[in-house]
Amino acid sequence: MQVIKVEHLYKQYQLGQVSTGTISHDLNRWFHKIRGKEDPYEKITIDNAREEKGNSNYVWALKDVNFEVNQGEVLGIIGRNGAGKSTLLKILSKVTAPTKGNIKIRGRIASLLEVGTGFHPELTGRENIFLNGAILGMTKNEIKSKFDEIVAFSGVDKYIDTPVKRYSSGMYVRLAFAVAAHLEPEILIVDEVLAVGDAEFQKKCLGKMKDVSSQGRTVLFVSHNLVAVKSLCTSGILMERGSVSFSGTADETVERYMKANADQLKPKISYNTPLDAIGNEIIKIKHIEVVPSNPFITDEISINFSFWNFSEDQETNLAFDLIDLHEEVIFGTGFKFKKNGDNLSSASCRIPADLMNDGIYTINLYFNSAEMRPLYQLSNAVSFEVADKERNYAYFGKINGAVRPKLNWESE
Amino acid sequence: MENKNDIWTEIITPRRGWLDINLKEIWRYRDLILLFVRRDFVSVYKQTILGPLWLFIQPIFTTFIFYFVFNRIAKISTEGIDPILFYLSGITLWNYFSDCFLKTSNTFTSNASIFGKVYFPRLTTPISIVISNLIKFIIQLILFGCVVFYQVYFNDVKIQPNLYLLLLPYLVFLMAIMGLGMGILFSALTTKYRDLSFLLAFGIQLLMYATPIIYPLNFTQGKLHTILSYNPISPILENFRFSFFGSGNFDFSGLIYASIFSFLTLIIGIIFFNRVENKFMDTV
């Protein structure tokens, strides 16, 4: 049985400063409307593509989204930032209305878009449970009957009559999630709540999500965390540029998403002759390749370099910085080369297995002479993603740290 | 089966009807309204030493200021009513109206963070404000009663309370829905055009001086009198004073005018509020 049916859903947003020109646009829109014409600003609305700077002030955050969810399904919604996931959830939870199209729903929807909505710092934990519960759509009696359960679940029973402004952020989140977790809706929307709380609490949350789905209720789960999506969801949809680009099982969708991501990366550059190669009059790049091109954290990664060196010197320094998505340098490393007869030099650098954290990395290259005189630099020479492996413990969040070495632990 | 609309419990669509307010839904959220009222009270007076005593201090202070400025210095008549009672009655009633108006006028902008995350009928917020201000008003009305008692017994002030006092709840109700209607109308308009919130501060001050709080309506003459009688709050205030002090006449036509005005304002306010409710997140 279908519980959600999304049909030709569109959502238009205005970019830039909202107030400038609003009156004239509103008047123009109204003038078109009374003459029975189409909205003049709909035609000039551009697709949701962040990379291309359009000349229109309006953008489709969602464009012709269609999908269905059956009862008891745990649907993972994945996609890059700005693909329209949050907009879709906002429309589903009735926070904002669609521009065109409709969504049909069977049953009560509760969303954990952000837990703790409406918590008032001056009120006690007890008062906030009631207030937050009511905001989420529970009646006083419903909350009363579940009160003890909520408090037990949150684990803050000692502080239940203390104003929540005195809570630690962990306690605050636990209490907030506890309220939301006891909503018992037919359809539950979960958005990235796994990012908060400690491992034990995450375990509780995931357990609650599994409970919900095992009782035949439906869960929509939005996350960047592919491992969590793979382990928790039964099916998935992939969103790209405001539309659903793929739907299938959770595994298929994650696979597809990773492939789409990998297509954006360039783990290999290669040129046949020095004439068409990038570089300058001294250094020309022949070949740089990351092997394997889509490594897991458990793989050894080798980066192979090969370049033409037209300098007089016999020795050249090659160094590179490995940079993550936050433009943070993870490490820098270098090597001294001897030139071959045909001006061509090759080398490869091996990054040991179980060292890198999962994430997307790029490489900045630096060529220097033996006296460290700069010869050539190349930013963002190649890029690749190190993927996480499925884990067999309860924590699915990103492991902290620039690197994630596998270290030796011994019990005493 | 699946083409039938009736098997779906809800359909989310771009637009809603003009007067499509779901009273049943608001009723279902009545606990939320009461919890909002409670939150407003608790949060305002927590960490104050005098707490709810501030509810008394404000009208008493204003009354004294009015007494010295307008009675002693400007010598504006109060139609034979004791000036303290005259000003206090005006301030008490006006405060209720202006609180309802001002505090509901930023419903959307001040609740944007909650409204942006969870759905609940948005009207619950302004309704809860009107109710929490009603409690405040009742407390201030009790203060007014005490001052009346004091003036009558200790200062020998003569008053003539009459049967029209029974209309008091209706007068208060009119104030509430007029304030609510104007407030939510403004809140809907200010989501797009913030300029209006600046006008509001001037507007409400102007409206206060156009309301017979510091002078009786009969104090004015000619054109000014005609203009001021179009102020829908004037008859409410004048009738309130008449029922307590018995000076002048009961103004029936004024009351009908105020009633029509209040209900119309509320309906227009709800229409605009409704139009904005499900779209405002895109513009704040």
What number is the ipTM of this complex? Answer: 0.82
Alpha helices per DSSP H over B3-105: 23-28, 30-45, 54-66, 83-104
Comparing CB atoms, the residue among A13, A19, A130 nearest residue B282 is A13
pLDDT of residue B95: 92
Whether residue A364 sits in one domain with residue A215: no
Note the pLDDT tens digit of each residue in A330-383. 999 998 877 777 788 888 999 999 999 888 888 999 998 888 888 888 888 898
In this prediction, residues B224-243 reach a mean pLDDT of: 88
Whether residue A369 sits in one domain with residue A350: yes
Strand ranges of the sheet holding A58-70, from the earlier edge strand across to the other edge: A58-70, A2-14, A100-105, B10-12
- In chain A, the percentage of residues whose pLDDT exceeds 70 is 83
Name the band, by pLDDT with cuts 50, 70 and 90, for residue A50.
very low
CATH number at residue A156: 3.40.50.300
Note the pLDDT tens digit of each residue in B112-130. 888 888 888 889 999 999 9
In this prediction, residues B184-205 reach a mean pLDDT of: 85
In this prediction, residues B42-54 reach a mean pLDDT of: 78
Comparing CB atoms, the residue among A96, A102, A135 nearest residue B118 is A135
**CB pair distance less than 8 Å for A94 and B12:** yes
pLDDT of residue A46: 60
Note the pLDDT tens digit of each residue in B57-69. 889 999 999 999 9
pLDDT at A404 over 70: yes
Whether residue A257 sits in one domain with residue A153: yes
pLDDT of residue B1: 43
pLDDT of residue A314: 78
pLDDT of residue B147: 92
Q: Is residue A52 part of a domain?
A: no
Q: Which of A18-22, A316-320, A335-339 has the lowest mean pLDDT?
A: A18-22
Note the pLDDT tens digit of each residue in A126-178. 999 999 889 888 888 989 999 999 999 888 888 999 988 898 877 888 888 88
| Residue in A29, A60, A135 to test binding to B, most B beta-carbons within 10 Å | A135
Whether residue A203 sits in one domain with residue A321: no
Q: Note which residues in 14-43 of chain A have CB less than 8 A from chain B.
A: 14, 18-19, 22-23, 26
Whether residue A235 sits in one domain with residue A120: yes
B38 touches chain A (CB under 8 A): yes
pLDDT of residue B2: 46
Average pLDDT of chain B?
86
Report yes or no: A151 and A128 within 8 Å, Cβ to Cβ: no
**CB pair distance less than 8 Å for A111 and B118:** yes
Comparing CB atoms, the residue among A2, A23, A105 nearest residue B9 is A105
- From chain A, the residues in CB contact with B120 under 8 A are 135, 137
Closest chain A C-alpha to B138 CA, distance in angstroms: 24
pLDDT of residue B87: 92
DSSP-assigned states of every residue in B171-193: HHHHHHHHHHHHHHHHHHHHTT-
Name the band, by pLDDT with cuts 50, 70 and 90, for residue A51.
very low
Name the band, by pLDDT with cuts 50, 70 and 90, for residue A15.
low
- From chain A, the residues in CB contact with B4 under 8 A are none
Structure tokens at A357: 């954290």
Note the pLDDT tens digit of each residue in B72-94. 898 888 777 888 899 999 999 99
Q: Is residue A316 part of a domain?
A: yes
pLDDT of residue A53: 47
pLDDT of residue B185: 92
Note the pLDDT tens digit of each residue in A191-226. 765 555 566 666 777 777 777 778 888 889 887 777
pLDDT of residue A402: 82
Whether residue A187 sits in one domain with residue A77: yes
Size of interface A-B (CB pairs under 8 A): 112
| Residue in A8, A27, A104 to test binding to B, most B beta-carbons within 10 Å | A104
Comparing CB atoms, the residue among A104, A131, A137 nearest residue B11 is A104
Closest CA relative to residue A321, chosen from A242, A402, A266: A402
In this prediction, residues B151-165 reach a mean pLDDT of: 86
Closest chain A C-alpha to B17 CA, distance in angstroms: 13
What span, in angstroms and rounded, lies between the C-alpha atoms of A335 and A156? 56
- From chain A, the residues in CB contact with B2 under 8 A are 2
CATH number at residue A310: 2.70.50.60
Q: Whats the size of chain A, residue-wise?
A: 412
pLDDT at B100 over 90: yes
Final residue before a domain boundary, out of A204, A239, A261: A261
Domain that holds residue A183: 2-8+62-261
Name the band, by pLDDT with cuts 50, 70 and 90, for residue A263.
confident
Whether residue A290 sits in one domain with residue A243: no
**CB pair distance less than 8 Å for A117 and B115:** no
Whether residue A192 sits in one domain with residue A322: no
What span, in angstroms and rounded, lies between the C-alpha atoms of A163 and A279? 63
- Strand ranges inside A253-352, DSSP E: 268-270, 283-291, 301-309, 315-324, 329-338, 344-351
Closest chain A C-alpha to B93 CA, distance in angstroms: 30
Whether residue A205 sits in one domain with residue A101: yes
**CB pair distance less than 8 Å for B14 and A99:** yes
| Number of domains chain A is built from | 2
Alpha helices per DSSP H over A166-245: 169-181, 199-214, 226-232
pLDDT of residue A194: 52
Name the residue ranges covered by the structural domains of chain B.
33-282
pLDDT at A55 over 60: no
pLDDT at A1 over 80: yes
| Residue in A4, A33, A71, A95 to test binding to B, most B beta-carbons within 10 Å | A95
pLDDT of residue A198: 62
Q: Which of A160-169, A251-260, B30-39 has the lowest mean pLDDT?
A: A251-260
pLDDT at A20 over 60: no
Report yes or no: A123 and A164 within 8 Å, Cβ to Cβ: yes
**CB pair distance less than 8 Å for B118 and A102:** no
In this prediction, residues B242-252 reach a mean pLDDT of: 82
Whether residue A255 sits in one domain with residue A280: no
| Residue in B1, B6, B117, B274 to test binding to A, most A beta-carbons within 10 Å | B117
Nearest CA in chain B to A4: B8
Q: Note which residues in 90-149 of chain A have CB less than 8 A from chain B.
A: 90-108, 111, 113-114, 117-118, 120, 122-123, 127, 130-131, 134-137, 139-140
In this prediction, residues A180-201 reach a mean pLDDT of: 71
Closest chain B C-alpha to A248 CA, distance in angstroms: 22
Closest chain B C-alpha to A122 CA, distance in angstroms: 6
Name the band, by pLDDT with cuts 50, 70 and 90, for residue A113.
low
Whether residue A201 sits in one domain with residue A82: yes
Whether residue A316 sits in one domain with residue A176: no
pLDDT at B283 over 80: no
pLDDT at A54 over 70: no
Q: Is residue A411 part of a domain?
A: no
